[in-house]
Amino acid sequence: MNSEIVIAGAGLAGACAALALAPYTRVLVLDDGRPGASHAAAGLVNPFLGRKAKRAWRATDALDALARLAESSDVPLQLGGLLRPARDERQAEVFRQRAAAHPERLRWLSPGSSREAHPAVRAPHGALWVREGGHVEIPRLVEAVLSEARHRGAEVLHARLAGWSGGRDGRLVVRSESAEAPEIRTRTLLLCTGDGTRALAPDLPLQRVKGQTLQLAAPPDLRIPPVSGAGYVVPLAPGEVVVGATFEHSFTTLAPTPEAAEDLRQRAAALVPVLEGADVLEARAGVRLTVPASVRPGRLPLLGPVASGVWAFTGLGAKGLLTAPLLAQHLPEWLADPGAIWPEVSTLA
């Protein structure tokens, strides 16, 4: 079998890459079908991150790229706003300052205004309203983006990438665990393999952080925006919310655990008290592959060549929605000119 580019991994990174490249070149996606981080993710879109609500990297372009992706794949991107209750008076003061610095994007809500606008959410210190924030269901988005990539000519094979070697004609020979295509000759192999990347490209500086989410049954008449405090609560369908997420730097199982479920239930009830004692509908877990802040400030992803003919697009960490669509849309030009990759994310920098 021949292909111009083989993309290994069909999570958020692989799906976005396939969609961006399919109109230009022959794309084959290999995915082993194991649920990765994209399967566990809640799908919060928060362009003002962390305790200090700092504007995310290239946030305006990232939001545009995400909106275009959602539009092309027909998955609703719900950017109606996001509420960030302050944890204490100190954080409230930081949030007030942020709101004053970005009046077009942020609004400070006093405890009374927050209660009036969002009575189901507990915000005793007030809350920051992030106008561009919101939510999109990542597993649905990934599926729809892959389907659109197929429509644009990409092929998708359910198979594990087993390895590769250099071919005599300067192309790579990619080995897959598929009887249909055990060997594929290609010009470029793009590793979008999430947690699997550590085994395939062991020299990349990547850290594993396990995360868990819970889907909880909620009262059908619960009206809340996506809420992000010490944890987050995101409304899904009526009667259902997703609660996230844990950040576990050491763990012995990749499966969801009862301890994390209890922790998440408590966080949900602290933010939205009516969720106290809510039934758990589903628990999910995944590993966020993250570039340590000591290597790249801002924990930005890694993209670029890692060996002859082999590229990586990984390390999306906890904010894949704000990086994968943005970076993927530049892949066609960057594959032709690796020197043009933004140095903040380039493997060559």
Minimum CB distance to ligand FAD, residue 2 (Å): 19
Distance CA 125, CA 113 (A): 11
Minimum CB distance to ligand FAD, residue 89 (Å): 27
Q: Decide whether 207 or 314 has the Cβ nearer to ligand FAD.
A: 314
> If DSSP codes are grouped into helix, strand and coil, which group holds residue 94?
helix
Q: Decide whether 128 or 322 has the Cβ nearer to ligand FAD.
A: 322
Q: Which residues contact 344 (CB under 8 A, 6 or more apart)?
A: 57, 296, 298, 300
Minimum CB distance to ligand FAD, residue 103 (Å): 25
Closest CA to 159 of 179, 173, 144: 179
Distance CA 177, CA 323 (A): 30
Minimum CB distance to ligand FAD, residue 200 (Å): 6
Q: Annotate 105-144 with three-state secondary structure.
A: CEEEECHHHHHHHCCCCCCCCCEEEECCCEECCHHHHHHH
Q: Decide whether 254 or 270 has the Cβ nearer to ligand FAD.
A: 254
8 Å CB contact between 166 and 313: no
What is the binding site for ligand FAD (CB under 6 A)? 8-14, 30-32, 34, 36-38, 40-44, 138, 160-161, 192-196, 211-213, 244-245, 286, 288, 314, 316-322
Distance CA 349, CA 347 (A): 6
Minimum CB distance to ligand FAD, residue 219 (Å): 23
Q: Decide whether 132 or 195 has the Cβ nearer to ligand FAD.
A: 195
Minimum CB distance to ligand FAD, residue 100 (Å): 27
* 2-8 vs 27-31, strand pairing mode: parallel
Q: Decide whether 31 or 132 has the Cβ nearer to ligand FAD.
A: 31
194 φ/ψ angles, rounded to the nearest 5 degrees = 50, -130
Q: Decide whether 40 or 181 has the Cβ nearer to ligand FAD.
A: 40
